[in-house]
Structure formats: structure tokens, C-alpha cells
A and B are shown apart, each in its own frame.
Chain A
Amino acid sequence: MSDHDRDRFDPEDLVARARRGLLSRGEQEQLAHALEASPELATAYRVGVEIDRASAVQGGDDAVIARAADAAMARVVEMTTHMTTRKPLPSRAAQGSRWAAAAAVALSVICASGLAAALTGAVPWPFRSEPEPAAAPSVAPATPKKKHKPKRAPIEAAAIEVAPTPVIEPPEPITAPQRMPKAGAGIDPADDAATQFHDANEARRNGELKHAQRLYGRLIEQHPSSDEAGLARVSLGRLLLAAGDARAAEREFRSYLAGGGGQLSEEALVGQAQSFGRLKRANEEQKAWQRLLASYPSSVYAAQAKQRLAVLDAAHEQDGTR
């Protein structure tokens, strides 16, 4: 192997290729030298090999994947159904104008980004469904499910529902902690923040959404300065947004961000933007998406934020030419 060839890969790439069994004899020598020379690289290589060993396919993986896929599909269907049943279509949507076309695009983005963000990362989506016990091959065509069929169109319908008619409302003052409905029976007020947070998450996972809201609210009220209270605000915001209370949801996201944010700032910004979208507060929605892009330019939500901003810009122009 010539010196010229040896320069073709980063040492890190040699490690990656070695783990895939793609190294030639010369490259193996090159890797050996690189590992000798760099303790960091040696660590990465060893850890990578251990990860490969530990993450091998396990018995029952197909069933795990099939259950997760079925549950994920059921949740998506529930979400789209929930959104489409909130309001009838506005009559203007049928007028065939440029505005209607822009609105349709805008709202498909809102629905998709909203749902995506609600489900990405920080806070599991509240709608749960019982996973089906059936196992399926890992790369197999899907078995058509009748229950999904009638619900294929709701994204487009919901998109029109949220057509951009900017109504600017003054922001509500932040009053932390927010007063939440009183907790139900069985909640021990002596619980510490960690226990309450755990219980609230359990309730959310079990689909007890109202109970989860109460527990998050109680945690925020009783331990407002705890780490868990910050996380609870984002979780509560998601639950409220999913339940259709965008105003209360926005308050929670805003409170979290006003407290300096934290690990869930990205999710909180997305949630805030979605809340403003639902409230048809276009200017504030625009600012929230812009803030997201400025703070997290390579966010997985970046493409959706850009799309939404383009739609909002188009709506502004449309308003200006009327």
C-alpha cells in the first residue's frame, strides 16, 4: 500500500470500516499504527467493538419491532383522527384561491411537524394503544389493517382546518408556578419531586392522561424549583397541546424557556411554535420557529421549521397584496 493510499481515510473512518470488516491488509496495518498512536482512537475502537458485540440481534427482536410499529401506527391514526374531529372545514378553504392552496400546504406541515415534534424525543405522545401480540418478520410487507383505511385523509383535512388567519393576541404574563387542577385522591403530598415525576410519567404511559396532567401540575406547584418541575412543564405542555388546549400548553412551554430552558429547550421551542400555530398567532409562531433555527440549526425539526416559515411568509405577502 502506498503512502498516497494511506492518506485516503481518516483514522476514525478506518475504525468504522474495521467494524464492518472492510479493511484490506494494508488498511489493517494502517489502523494498527493509528491505534498505537492515538489513545482516543483506541478507546473508540474498543468501545465500538463492545457495542457491536452487545447489540447483536436477540431472540424476540422481530416481535418487539412489530409491536412497536403497530403501536406507532395506531398512535398516528389516533392523532390524525383527534385533529380532524375538532372543527368543520372553513368555507374559504373551498374557494380554490391561491390562499387555499397555501393554507393546505401550511397545514399539512403544521399537522406533520406538530405531531412529529410532539412525539420526538422529550415527551412521549400521550395517546397509547395496546400493542398487538403478533410477531412479524423484520423486513416484511405490512399486513393491511382495515382499521387504518378509513382514516387516511385526515392530514389534508386538518391542514385546511388550521388555515393561517393571523390573529395576534398579546402574550399572557408568566405566572410560575401555574395553578393546575387539584390532584385526585391517592396522591401523597409528601412525595418528593423525583417520585412525583416518576408517578406522572407512569400515568402518562398508562394512558391516564388527565391523571398525568394533575400529577405534573402538582409537581410544578409543590416543587417549582426542582429539575423535575422543568421537565414536567414540557411534558404537561405536550399533554395540553394534544388535548387541544393550546393556550395552556403555550404557557407551560414559555415558562420552561423563561426559566433558562435546559435539555428540553429544543422540544419546548417546537411545542411553543405549534401552540402559536394552533392559536393562529402567526407572528409569534414565526418568531418561535426562527428562534429554533437560530439555536438548533441542525435540528431534526429544521426542515419543518423552514417549511412552516415559508408558508407564513407567503401568507404575509398574500395579506399585503389584498
Chain B
Amino acid sequence: MLRLLKGGAEVSREPSVNSQSASGVSRIARAEDALGPLAAAAAGGDRDAQRTLLVAVGPSLLRVVRGVLGGQHPDVEDTVQEAMVSLHLALVGFRGECTTLHFACRIAVQTALNTRRRSGYRTRHTPNAEPADLAELARDDRSPADAMDAAACRQTLRDLLGELPAAQAEVLALHTLLGYTIDETAETIAVPANTVRSRLRAALARLRESAQTRPSLLELIEGGR
């Protein structure tokens, strides 16, 4: 198993990029799939490879799920588990159109968005529930006011993910939560870059609209430029 992992670059929490082209001009290029051999072994039925793959992509899945649901959401661990099972079984249909990590993250995004939609019904009927971000505030080393604004910033994004059309929500999540570029997002969801661009810009316009309804949030955003 170590050999499989060793075959590629170290697995990164962030999407990996190659910043140098042959001409010496820096640009983003598709990275080699460090997890490709492991994914192939896992798809072939190797149980050790399967578990190792899940553990290897686990930090990224956790990041996605926390980003969509909130760090203290009670369903975070459940949702990570759902995403892992889905990834495990979806490997059969994976043809390497994008990296294994991107494929895994896309599944995590969709799983988490579904969890968020489902839990929306619950939270709508329990408005007095403790905010999911409360514990996150305690960890923030900024002033309470700034931490509250930052939490509102994240919550605005999460709320919007539940309201946007699914295609826009997916693109916004990949770009904003995971920091994917246009090309990486296009590869991951197998649509043209221009489609990603237009979906993303529409989603960002909505995000901006949402932010404008909260003056303190707007101040935070404009102050951070």
C-alpha cells in the first residue's frame, strides 16, 4: 500500500497545481493523479487499498463537509461516512476524467449538499436550536465582533448553497470551499470551462446579493480587500 502511495506525490489537502509550463510561463495545469494507483487497486477489490484510499482522501472530505454543513453540525461525521461509502462504490464508474481527489471531493460536495437540504426541514422547525457555529466562535482568536462577522460570512455561503440551483451550488462549493480553479472545476464535473465560468459568476452574484443584506458582513468583505 505504501508503494501505491509512494508512486505519486504526497497527497495534499489542497488541489495540487503545477505552476510551470514548458515555456516557463506560470499557469495552472492538471496535476498527476497521486491517488490513481491506489484508486485502481481499490476498484479492483483490494480491501486494504480501499480503506487506505478512504483515509487518504478523508481530510479533504472532512473539509468539504465542514464547509457545507458547518464545523459543529451534528451530521458531519455521518456525512463523511456517507461520502466515503459513495466514493468506494462509485469507483467502478470512475474513468479518470479528473483526479481521484477531485472526484472524491465532488462526491463529498453532493453528499453534504443533500444532507444540508434534508436538515433544512429540521432546522426550519427548530428555530431555537443552538447555532452550529457557536463552538467555532470560541476557537476564533479575533475579537468577538469580528469572529461573529466571519461566522456570518460562512453562514451566508452555506445558506446560499441550500438555495441555489444544484448545478450552481456545486460549482460555488468547489470554487469557494475547496479553492478550485475554473479548469479544475470543469474537469471535476465534466463540463466545459465556459459553463463553469457562467455558473460561478451567477452564483457569486447571488452571494454578493446575500452579503448586501448584512451591513456588518459587507463591511468585513470590503475591509478585507
Contacts and interface: CB of A to CB of B under 8 A. Distances in A.
Nearest to A265: B166
Contacts of B76: 64
Interface stretch (A209-217, A298-306, A312-320): A298-306
A54 B71 contact: yes
Given A24-B26, A54-B150, A124-B82, A43 B59 contact: no
A10 B48 CA distance: 41
Contacts, number: 270
A191 B191 CA distance: 45
Given A17-B28, A76-B89, A121-B111, A46 B208 contact: no
Nearest to A48: B176
Nearest to A39: B208
Contacts of A304: 90, 92-93
B78 A120 contact: no
Nearest to B19: A22
A266 B59 CA distance: 27
Given A139-B55, A307-B92, 18 more contacts: A40-B207, A42-B222, A46-B153, A55-B63, A55-B67, A58-B71, A67-B77, A76-B89, A112-B93, A113-B92, A119-B85, A119-B86, A120-B82, A122-B114, A141-B1, A141-B5, A195-B125, A298-B167
Task: Return the 8 tightest CB-CB contacts between A and B, nearest first.
Answer: A116-B89, A303-B93, A65-B58, A142-B51, A121-B114, A194-B125, A72-B84, A112-B92
Interface of A: 5, 8-10, 12-13, 15-17, 19-20, 22, 24, 32, 35-36, 39-55, 57-58, 61, 64-73, 75-76, 108-109, 112-113, 115-116, 119-122, 124-125, 136-142, 144-145, 148-149, 152-153, 155, 192, 194-195, 197-198, 201, 205, 227-228, 231, 263-264, 266-267, 298, 300-304, 307
